[in-house]
Amino acid sequence: MLHTLHKDWLGNVRGDLLSGLVVALALIPEAIAFSIIAGVDPKVGLYASFSIAVVIAVTGGRPGMISAATGAMALLMVSLVKDHGLQYLLAATVLTGILQILAGYLHLGSLMRFVSRSVVTGFVNALAILIFLAQLPELTNVSWHVYALTALGLGIIYGFPLIPKIGRNIPSPLVCIIAVTALSLITDLDVRTVSDLGELPDTLPIFLWPEVPLDFETLKIIFPYSLSLCVVGLLESLMTATIVDDFTDTESDKNKECRGQGFSNVVAGFFGGMAGCAMIGQSVINVKSGGRGRLSTFVAGLFLIIMVVFLSDLISVIPMAALVAVMIMVSIGTFSWDSIRNIKEHPPSSSIVMIATVVVVVLTHNLAIGVLIGVLLAALFFANKVGRFMLVRSHKPDTDSQYYEVVGQVFFASSDAFVRSFDFREVNEMVTIDLNHAHFWDLTAVAALDKVVMKFRREGAEVILVGMNEASRTIVDRLGVHDKEDVSDILDAH
């Protein structure tokens, strides 16, 4: 244990320190931008990012992943802040954390296996679109100066890394912010700046109990918000954890990550921060910059608060156009362009799941609902596909009898086809139905079989069922084959 602890924290000190610094610089504009999305002061997002990054570095299950205030979470709290104010948001954040800790102890992280790849892609794309859409208010009904500054900012962000040597060693979003700010100060442009949007932090965060009445009424207000925050937070965190797993070719502890997210949100809520989760874009930046261990996340949080507290005067004059440019970069980097290019090659059902997830999220601004729809659609498509693996063969041993052999999966999606496969018009004295090579998965299948037997008997035939026991062994709920050793025998027998 000490061995892994040592490796997680001190296995890659130089890389972690440098990447932590890069991430901290990239986190500042994002935290401010996400506070603005949620409708709270920039300091709420900045305090949240600091608390979450520092706590998750210790408690998380995925070293090297960056968590802080995020757009996905900010979008969910907009109406809560508008209707009830900041204190209710803080209370909801604490409750979100508690729910996530519970989810961690109940091992709900393993439910992620029901979220298919198409849903994940849809989630990521929807997230990118939402981050982009959230920038539009800053770009509508403004003077041409804002467009010029944003375009300049984007030019710097993508152009600067092309410069040899220094281009790769100085974070280009930082260069963008400094250059755009300097330009707007020198030319004295009348554009919106960060200070127009609310208070920046001038002290370290302090412990505060959210000022809400501790009663059922409060719970009724915050619980629905906390629940969707909890779900979206865990979804994005676990997805990001899988992405970082792939990058580093290492495993992470998903349930520990759930609990860690919970602890960090509880702490964030008590220190005046909004709920957050893992960030796909920032985690990519962290790994790309050489970050691998817990130290990188910790350092990112620490540098962030140090810079913000001591440089708040400088931060307040940053034009919004510079932040918008950074956020557009984040949304471009988060979007999975591959999924658009490959849309022709992928099976249509997968593309439909992906697109449905995106559309629902963009319409509802709620990633939880989008994912739910995506998962349901994917399950239906799957049931439909498996339902096709059913076949009824028949032959006539002699003139008065008929022999049917059922092969494949019989369940709710294929039971109609199952019933239709029998010829009830034919006159027979004896009908044999061989079920040795069939699986009956649910009650619908059993009811369909009953129906077939009854129909034959009404026509005056005697019905013999062969292999019923074998076929019904797969009614998993009753017999629980999934935890018996002979499960492979049952499935291989066919």
Partner 1 sequence: MNQIIACVDGSRVNDSVSAAAVWMASRIHAPLTFLHVLEHTDSAMNGDLSGTIGFDAREDLLSELIDLDSQRAQLELQHGKLILEAVTRRAEGLGLEVSAIQRHGGLTETLIEYEPVARAVVIGRRGEAHEGFPSAIGSHIEHVLRTLQRPVFVVAENFQEPQEFVLAFDGSQTAKKILDLVVRSPLLEGLTCHLVMIGNADKERKASYDASVEQLTLSGFSIVRAELELQGSVVETLVDYQRQKKIGLTIMGAYGHSRIRQFFVGSQTTGMLQRSLTPLLLLR
The residues that touch partner 1, with contacts defined as CB under 8 A, are 3, 11-12, 14-15, 18-19, 22-23, 25-26, 157-158, 160-161, 167-174, 243, 246-250, 280-281, 284-285, 287-293, 329-330, 332-334, 336-338
Choice between 334 and 409, CB closer to partner 1:
334
Query: Rounded to the nearest whole angstrom, what is the least distance from the CB of residue 158 to partner 1 in the complex?
Result: 6
Query: Rounded to the nearest whole angstrom, what is the least distance from the CB of residue 289 to partner 1 in the complex?
Result: 5
Query: Rounded to the nearest whole angstrom, what is the least distance from the CB of residue 202 to partner 1 in the complex?
Result: 26
Cβ distance 474 to 490 under 8 Å? yes
Nearest residue to 275 via CA among 86, 135, 102: 86
Choice between 291 and 319, CB closer to partner 1:
291
Query: Rounded to the nearest whole angstrom, what is the least distance from the CB of residue 147 to partner 1 in the complex?
Result: 21
Query: Rounded to the nearest whole angstrom, what is the least distance from the CB of residue 238 to partner 1 in the complex?
Result: 16
Query: Rounded to the nearest whole angstrom, what is the least distance from the CB of residue 181 to partner 1 in the complex?
Result: 17
Choice between 115 and 243, CB closer to partner 1:
243
Query: Rounded to the nearest whole angstrom, what is the least distance from the CB of residue 173 to partner 1 in the complex?
Result: 5
Q: DSSP string spanning 198-210?
A: -PPP-S-------
The CB-side HSE value for 220 (13 A sphere, CA atoms) comes to 3
Q: DSSP string spanning 418-457?
A: HHHTS-SSS--SEEEEEEEEEEE-SHHHHHHHHHHHHHHH
Choice between 96 and 125, CB closer to partner 1:
125
Signed CA dihedral, 182, 184, 187, 192: sign only: negative
Choice between 23 and 53, CB closer to partner 1:
23
What's the CA gap between 203 and 295, in Å, rounded? 24
Choice between 323 and 481, CB closer to partner 1:
323
Q: DSSP string spanning 357-392?
A: HHHHHHHHS-HHHHHHHHHHHHHHHHHHHHHTSEEE
Nearest residue to 193 via CA among 322, 74, 307: 322
Cβ distance 263 to 55 under 8 Å? yes
| 139 alpha-carbon distance from chain centroid | 28
Choice between 52 and 176, CB closer to partner 1:
176
